Amino acid sequence: MRTDRPKDSTREIKFTRNYTKYAQGSVLCEFGDTKVLCTAMVEERVPAFLKGSGQGWVTAEYSMLPSSNRERKQRDISRLKLDARSTEIQRLIGRSLRAAVDMKALGERTIYIDCDVLQADGGTRVTSITGGFVALYDAVRGLMKAGLIRKDPIKNFVAAVSVGIVGDQLLCDLCYEEDSSAMMDMNVVMTDAGEFVELQATAEGRSATRKEMGLLMDLAEGAIRQIISKQKEALGTDE
């Protein structure tokens, strides 16, 4: 039973911009006890398949620091292979953030979004997407200020949240304890136009009805609207 907040509320969400100094965008994004450092760095080249196309690219990497877990998580390099879960998550982050960007307006350059989990307590991928967007926005603003881009490549805001069924309750923004006992959970990525970018829904305890799926989508939509207004507040924009 959730006792610390209403079923449809997120944990406290915070953005600390300019958290580190070298990246063009650097944001510590917190969803409760989940903390992810999201940085955006610009490189003036694109992958081979885009050379000469006039279009840019946005890609992401995701990793958990050893002490982000309850038990020390081995670094990938010491196992000499990339973690399959991290690979899946970083592709989701990349796809989600590309949905925010007009690649022609970005021009032939790549923005790397690096998401490093400092502390994991459920929802690290949605925290990465939500914070990654703020870092991306800062990096793009930097490019515009420097006169490297004229047309704003940000098409819309993007944020994400998890929702799920825990026992007989429909909950928003699951912490680790809730996530690990969830019957089904879903990660939802949306834009500020209220459109869906990606849904990842998995039933492991029991399957969900169409009606429950609708209610979960409503929960997610309401939460994402609030999260996007927090992103705008953190960025000092009411676009």
Task: Give contact residues for ligand UDP (rule: CB under 6 A).
Answer: 69, 73, 85, 120-125, 176, 179
Distance CA(113)–CA(87), nearest Å, equals 14
When the beta carbons of 25 and 164 are compared against ligand UDP, the nearer one is: 164
CB 37 within 8 A of CB 61: no
Please, which residue, 53 or 180, has the CB nearer to ligand UDP? 180
Nearer to ligand UDP, 121 or 192 (CB): 121
> Least distance from C-beta 113 to ligand UDP, angstroms?
15
C-beta of 69: minimal distance to ligand UDP in Å? Answer: 4
d(CA 97, CA 100): 5
As measured in angstroms, the least distance from the Cβ of 178 to ligand UDP is 10
Cα Dmax for the chain = 56
Q: Residue 114 Cβ, how far from ligand UDP at the closest point, in Å?
A: 16
Distance (Å, whole) CA 139 – CA 227:
20
Would you state the structure tokens that stand for residue 22, as one six-digit string? Answer: 């070298």
Nearer to ligand UDP, 75 or 85 (CB): 85
Cα–Cα distance between 187 and 41 in angstroms, integer?
26
Query: Angle, nearest 10°, between helix axes 84-98 and 124-145?
Result: 40
For strands 158-166 and 110-119, give the pairing: unpaired
CB of 146 to ligand UDP, least distance (A): 34
Nearer to ligand UDP, 55 or 124 (CB): 124
Picking from 238, 223, 236, the residue whose alpha carbon sits closest to that of residue 13 is 223
